[in-house]
Structure 1
Amino acid sequence: MSKTVAVILAGSGVYDGSEINEVVLTLLALEEQGVEYQCFAPDIDQAHVVNHLSGDEQNQTRNVLQEAARIVRGNVKDVAKLQVQDHAALIMIGGFGVAKNLSSFAFKGQDFDILPCIKKIMKAFTDSGKPSGYMCIAPVLLPSVFDGVKCTIGKDVDIASVITTLGGKHVECAVDEITFDEKYRIVTTPAYMLAENIKQAKLGIDKLVTRVCLLSDAI
């Protein structure tokens, strides 16, 4: 049996978790490639809960792992159980959960911290020579882990500035394009940093998934 692709989620919902359309499009693209996957998320409380109708913060507590399970019909494991040797590649989905639950970027800007278990996993895949894909806001984490990494979040000037300030090389990119860093074997695409609808988001995500799969031994 081929090794699976590990997919990292950060909850459920664009404003406080994983971007749901990006999750579904990524998993669909993997299935269309004939590649198996396993989703993971940290077993922690969300930074906060946002009402996705109003955008207002709610006085609630929700668990990142349990919320991620809503998207993938329960097929998600605690990221603490992720063993790099069991997987051919890594993909991190976007959404503000990356900036709020997997890191503190939404609250601290360029002085953000990354959840230690997430940072360890990011580094472990690259150290093992395995490819990774990061979409939407997720690439902002990369330069704090990989010195001089080439990546894209699309055309957002402020976030691109954070990437360059942290030592990364930001490449302006259209919604249907990907950027590839050969040294670290990392693929990035803007997804909903630029996408105005599901069809647009699918274009770059499909290319990212295809490149990651081709670089891996998942197929």
Structure 2
Amino acid sequence: MAKVAVVLSGCGVYDGAEINEAVLTLLSLEQQGASYQCFAPDREQMHVINHLTGEPVAGESRNVLVEAARIARGNIKPLTDARVADFDALVVPGGFGAAKNLCDFAVAGAQMTVQADFLALARDFHQAGKPIGLICIAPVMSAAICGEGSRCTIGNEAEVAAAIEAMGGEHLECPVSEARVDTEKKLVTTPAYMLAGSVSEAYAGISDCVKEVLALS
């Protein structure tokens, strides 16, 4: 049975991990015979968003790990506890947390930096020849993790695709129901809610992403 490290970036589409994507990732892993352990950075998230209004909440701070524990039902560990030797693959659901708490793409665009602990872990997976699945907006980190020429997708959003190319990646267009595989880099990506209009649409691509990741492990 393959064992997969799943990195979450908080809880909630606007400031953390996209909840549907995270749950669908865990469901797909179970359905396809893999086990998993969730991790998240033990740090303050970039900001807190009121998900009813979409507006930032002044004066409030939340911890990424504590928030992500909501999704994982408490079964989660600090990112610094993750060891590549213990796992066969790495999967990262999307949501703005991936672009705010795992990196700063949401504010820096193509000049982004990736959070140091996450970058070190993800690069260790890549250097160990273990597959990585990046979902939704998370593929903007592809070149930073897997090197120049990394082939990935966020669907067909032109501005984000251009930023991926500017950072040294190669963007591939992809429908919501599919994933794209860079066999050389052992990198699998899917658009999920970059394109999805429903939970079932997101599930189709995420399930395909998980299938391809497990096939490479």
TM-score by length of 2: 0.97
Q: Hey, what does 2:46 align to over in structure 1?
A: 47
Q: Partner letter of residue 81 of structure 1?
A: D
Amino acid at match of 1:158: E
Distance (Å, rounded) in 2 between the aligned partners of 1:129 and 1:74: 30
1: CA distance between counterparts of 2:20 and 2:29?
14
Deviation at 1:213, TM superposition (A): 1.2
Deviation at 1:65, TM superposition (A): 0.1
In the other structure, the counterpart of 1:88 is 88
What residue number does 2:204 align with?
203
Question: Deviation per CA, 1:53-77, whole angstroms, max 9, x where unpaired?
Answer: 0001002110000000001100110
> Partner amino acid for 1:56?
E
Aligned length: 215
Paired residues of 2:2 and 2:33 also in contact (CA < 8 A): no
Per the alignment, residue 73 of structure 1 pairs with 73
The residue type equivalent to 2:190 in the other structure is T
Mean Cα deviation higher: 98-107 or 189-198: 98-107
User: C-alpha displacement at 1:122, in angstroms?
Assistant: 1.2
The amino acid of 1:200's aligned partner reads E
Aligned to 2:30: 31
Q: Which sections of structure 2, spanning at least 5 residues, go unmatched?
A: none
Ranges in structure 1 where 5+ consecutive residues have no aligned partner:
none
1:1-219 to structure 2, matched below 5 A, reads: 2-59=1-58, 60-145=60-145, 146-216=147-217
Asked if 1 retains the 8 angstrom alpha-carbon contact of 2:2 and 2:214, the reply is: no
SS at match of 2:155: coil
2: CA distance between counterparts of 1:177 and 1:30? 16
**Offset at 1:144?**
2.5
Question: How far apart in 2 are the matches of 1:119 and 1:164?
Answer: 19
Measure the CA separation in 2 of the matches of 1:144 and 1:158: 18
- Aligned amino acid, residue 28 of structure 2: A
1:54-108 Cα shifts (integer Å, max 9, x gaps): 0010021100000000011001100000000000000011000011111111111
- Once the 2 structures are TM-superposed, how far is the Cα of residue 177 of structure 1 from its aligned partner? 1.2
CA RMSD of aligned residues (A): 0.8
